[in-house]
Structure 1
Amino acid sequence: MTTVLPGQTGELDPRLLEHRRELTGYCYRMLGSSFDADDAVQETMVRAWRGLADFEGRSALRSWLYRIATNVCLDQLNGRKRRALPMDLSGTSWQPVEASLAAKKPADAWVEPVLDRQVVPEDADPAEQAVARESIRLAFVAALQHLPPRQRAVLLLRDVLRWKADEVATLLESTVASVNSALQRARATLAAVGGELDERPLDADHRELLDRYLDAFLRYDIEAFVALLHEDATQHMPPFEMWLRGREDIGTWMLGPGSACRNSRLIEVSANGSPAFAQYRPTDGGGHVPWALHVLEVDDGRITHISSFLDLDSGLFERLGLPVAPESEPAA
């Protein structure tokens, strides 16, 4: 965790803070973790705060901040293994039985979720907001982790942020030819792992689907729930390595090992450019506790994938700024 300078929050130039959200989005795409991104942006702000007096407008402030953020991210990624999603680790789905929970990895092995409000600039025009949402979708962020760090930065700066090749070359202290070569290789790698940007706006039909999803989950009507899923829908549940394929197996899981989720409460949010629900599971003593953030992928009127990020003891909800209890219940 970054060390904060004494009194830093009150002393930061407001011009630096104006760029915090977009820098968080950039660092999240680079690092695959909203929590690592927060640390990277904090470190970026600390370095900028220290160097602002010597900056003297030699280049655009935004470009300068991105240079610092890129260097911070490259430092963080040095020697690290790539983050992944469970489906990236095995081409074969698991059985919907409790024994499948035996395989588990630490939090830093997984791509982690991010709330849209953390990374999508409020003041951007609709086209820029659309690109921001597309480029934080879990499949795209997971695909980015296959790229070497510098290629990752090049692709994000060129294809997401729309920087010119010479601007990227200046930031990376490289050449235009080198940037163009890195971009070509990065695009080829993303295409090979299915990481193309994909715009799927939420339309009226999707809105109805989400309402039906919420209703079925709250009633724990699994027959109605699985009817909303694509026949080959998938679900995974980090930090567990297991993942399920097919609405039949997903339904079997929910009626079996997942049956303790009956009588849960849900809060709708937006995460990773997609509709999502924060789930609070009932406890034996009454009340509800944070359990999972479900990020949904929707296509052609059906739910095609559910990423269920389990809170367990990780403090996921608190770190994402989600309520630690449903609104109708006091926090413990």
Structure 2
Amino acid sequence: MPPQPDPADPHWLSQARAGDASAFDRLVAPYRRPLHTHCYRMLGSPHDADDALQEALLAGWRGLASFEGRSALGTWLYQISTHVCLRLISQRPRRIESPDHGPSFHTTADLGQMVTGPVWLEPLSDDETPGNGDAHEDPADALARRQSVALAFVAALQHLPATQRAVLLLRDVLEYSAAEAAGMLGTSVASVNSALQRAQKTVKDKTPAVSQAAELQSLGEGGLDKLLGAFVNAWESRNIEELVRLFTEDARFTMPPLPAWFDGRAFVRKFIAERVFATPWRVLPLRANGQVGFACYMKPEGGDRFRLGAITLLSLRAGRIAGLHSFLDPAVHRRFGLADEIL
């Protein structure tokens, strides 16, 4: 659902139209985080979403005189942000996951050269998503919020043509009507309905039948604590057999910006045993994209401290780990405000 703050305060709207930038900031403040999350879904990167949001708010500031109040302020801002994202999509490569880049690896000696640049799908910290941590949030709304930022969902969106991506988000995530979406995109209701049907089919084909939010709900707090506790114990003790017992048969391990990824429990086991567990680790819990994960710290040979090496998100299925999505880019790490080293 789009945010539903109070209608734009006439006083602050009048002041903003008169050139008061602080008044404009007060008007748009309730929308900043929801708009950023919308741009993230469109673009697949919180850093790209930063750029889009900045450009959209600048366009809103410059074009405030054209806002006549016939639609909600939020709708107007979403319209501007969506068009900014559509333009950026036309200028930048789409964000991908490791399987989109190339085939899985079967050996661990050479993991390839880092593939740099704005290429990879990036995680979004739960601290940056609207509604997170709201004790009064309706459970159904919380479930929908987590589903709408799940890695698999955002990754599937990147496979859609830009307009289909926008239509799906406006209709199914933000819950605008077909007529409202058509007005925001400058197209017809028929075109919106057609694009939505095609987009829904693609996303359904590219996402798990059960969302991560539903998997977490099914597992329950007790079951999740047990699973994560077993994962931490096995990882930090480098107990490969205990760790592998937690994986599904078709588990995957990815590690962008390295091109290497491993498909299937046997190959994931081989990689962890031969490369990952060659060094001691400490892991600290975190959440991103509505999913559970860890900040992973490794101790270099001869070192006395553990250094941040990866942010790893887990994908769960039926109480087991089906995916380890490990992000190695320091720019991604900085987004989470983590310590570079721990004892």
Aligned to 1:318: 334
In the TM superposition, what are the counterparts of 1:163-178 in structure 2 within 5 Å? 163-178=176-191
Deviation per CA, 1:105-145, whole angstroms, max 9, x where unpaired? 22411111111221242455332221121121111111111
Deviation per CA, 1:180-235, whole angstroms, max 9, x where unpaired? 01111212222333476723234121221011111211222222111111122111
Aligned to 1:154: 167
In the aligned structure 2, how far is the partner of 1:93 from the partner of 1:41?
35
The RMSD of aligned alpha carbons is 2.2
Aligned to 1:102: 112
Aligned to 2:286: 269
In the TM superposition, what are the counterparts of 1:45-64 in structure 2 within 5 Å? 45-64=57-76
So what's the TM-score if we normalise by structure 1?
0.87
Aligned to 1:218: 236
Say whether residues 1:42 and 2:43 are aligned partners. no
SS at match of 2:280: coil
Structure 2 CA distance for partners of 1:45 and 1:129, relative to 1, 3 Å: farther
User: Which segment is superposed worse, 41-50 or 161-170?
Assistant: 41-50
SS at match of 1:201: helix
Confirm or deny: 8 A CA contact 1:22 1:120 kept in the other structure.
Answer: yes
Confirm or deny: 8 A CA contact 1:317 1:323 kept in the other structure.
Answer: no
Say whether residues 1:130 and 2:143 are aligned partners. yes
In the aligned structure 1, how far is the partner of 2:160 from the partner of 2:254?
23
User: Which segment is superposed worse, 205-214 or 55-64?
Assistant: 55-64
SS at match of 1:168: helix
Q: CA deviation at 1:10?
A: 5.4
Identity %: 41
Aligned to 1:114: 124
Confirm or deny: 8 A CA contact 2:236 2:283 kept in the other structure.
Answer: yes
In the aligned structure 1, how far is the partner of 2:118 from the partner of 2:297?
23
1:186 to 171, 180, 199: 199
In the aligned structure 2, how far is the partner of 1:201 from the partner of 1:9?
43
SS at match of 1:210: helix
1:20 to 27, 32, 56: 32
User: Which segment is superposed worse, 235-244 or 193-202?
Assistant: 193-202
Confirm or deny: 8 A CA contact 1:44 1:69 kept in the other structure.
Answer: yes
2:271 to 253, 263, 267: 253
Q: CA deviation at 1:9?
A: 8.6
In the aligned structure 2, how far is the partner of 1:208 from the partner of 1:259?
22
Q: CA deviation at 1:44?
A: 1.9
Q: CA deviation at 1:53?
A: 4.9
Aligned to 2:215: 200
Structure 2 CA distance for partners of 1:131 and 1:218, relative to 1, 3 Å: same
Confirm or deny: 8 A CA contact 1:140 1:196 kept in the other structure.
Answer: no
Letter in 1 for 2:299: P
Deviation per CA, 1:68-111, whole angstroms, max 9, x where unpaired? 11011011111332221112334x43114121x12542241111
Letter in 2 for 1:16: V
Say whether residues 1:301 and 2:313 are aligned partners. no
> Structure 2: where are the runs of 5+ without partners?
1-19
Aligned to 2:104: 93
In the aligned structure 2, how far is the partner of 1:188 from the partner of 1:159?
13
Length, aligned pairs only: 315
SS at match of 2:118: helix
User: Which segment is superposed worse, 138-147 or 183-192?
Assistant: 183-192
Q: CA deviation at 1:251?
A: 2.3
Confirm or deny: 8 A CA contact 2:215 2:318 kept in the other structure.
Answer: no
In the aligned structure 2, how far is the partner of 1:125 from the partner of 1:48?
31
Deviation per CA, 1:35-94, whole angstroms, max 9, x where unpaired? 11122112222222333355242320110110111011011111332221112334x431
Structure 2 CA distance for partners of 1:282 and 1:53, relative to 1, 3 Å: farther
Letter in 2 for 1:26: H
User: Which segment is superposed worse, 68-77 or 189-198?
Assistant: 189-198
Structure 2 CA distance for partners of 1:144 and 1:219, relative to 1, 3 Å: same
2:304 to 247, 264, 286: 286
Aligned to 2:251: 233
Structure 2 CA distance for partners of 1:195 and 1:23, relative to 1, 3 Å: farther
Structure 2 CA distance for partners of 1:120 and 1:208, relative to 1, 3 Å: farther
Structure 2 CA distance for partners of 1:195 and 1:300, relative to 1, 3 Å: closer
In the aligned structure 2, how far is the partner of 1:103 from the partner of 1:88?
16
